Amino acid sequence: MPDDPDSPSTAPLRFLDTHVHFWDPARPDWYPHLAPDADLSAINLGKAEHMKRHYDHATYQADATGIDIVGIVHVTATRGAGNYLGETAELGRLHAQVGLPAAIVGGFNPDAALVDIAAELDEQAQVPLFHGIRTTTPIDYTAPKAADMLRLFAERGLVYDVVTHPAAMAAVAHRLEASPDATYVIEHTGWPLFEDDGAHTAQWREGMRMLAAAGPHVHCKLSGLPMTLHRFDVAALRPWLEHALEVFGADRCLFGSNFPVDAMFGDLPSLLRSYQAITEPLGRAAQAKLFVDNARAIYLRG
């Protein structure tokens, strides 16, 4: 009798992790947020030592024991001008040695001149796994330069991992709707800054609706909520993930761990079990899209 695609599976969970950071606290020029005196008060209500550790492919694999990791997407977390260039090059060499990561989301400086941004994109493109781009520097999406930057990404076939917060979502949605030639992934479930179950949450919910309505080229990375919630059990995550899945749909969402940042609040298998439990009503076919297939199509280019 054939396997029922909607029945529970006892096989190890297959996961293409779309948000991982490898880093070294011994390099404070690259990762000042890992320095002993770094102020993490905005997110640190957990075990900071679980984040501020040397995190490499071996550490990640140990954290992922019991999970069938089919690939990871490394997302830059360097600070300082141009550090992402060296990081992207190092990750390319790492892949040649150990087969990880499967894709790289590099960086750019939105305050630089367009010609300089283009040159840095092209430098990172010398690494074949460079498939995406992000910045944590705030961007004015109402300015013409924002459209020009998105054009640079589209011309190079890069996925743009969009860092935004609820107050800026309307402007981001309008810009992405007007720039449909690139692929966009909203990071960290829209990154609500705090859980107030009131105005901020309502702003997040409406902003997520607007982002989803911007077009099928806009996707949502279901990740990073523990930075807001300081926990990742089913009860905490469910209302946020269910809303994101409602407005974007299972075809346009994908899971990421945000490890080792979210390791402050628990272990990776527990996080993924929460993801599984929340999405179980959608069926195994939808779960396969959320855990592997959508990420492969977006970041691995097939």
- pLDDT tens-digit series, residues 166-225: 999 999 999 999 999 999 999 999 999 998 889 999 999 999 999 999 999 999 999 999
Q: Is the pLDDT of residue 281 over 80?
A: yes
Least-confidence region, from 22-26, 218-222, 244-248: 22-26
Q: Please state the φ and ψ torsions of residue 231, each to the nearest 5 degrees.
A: -165, 160
pLDDT of residue 7: 44
Phi-psi region of 191 (alpha: psi -120 to 50; beta: other; left: phi over 0): left
Q: Mean per-residue pLDDT for 217-235?
A: 96
For the CA atoms of 19, 23, 25, 30, what is the dihedral angle to 10 degrees? -100
pLDDT of residue 3: 40
Residue with tokens 């599984």: 276
As a whole-number percent, the residues of the chain with pLDDT over 90 amount to 82
Strands (E), the chain: 14-20, 68-75, 103-107, 130-134, 159-162, 183-186, 218-222, 253-255
Secondary-structure class of domain 14-299 per CATH: alpha beta
pLDDT of residue 111: 95
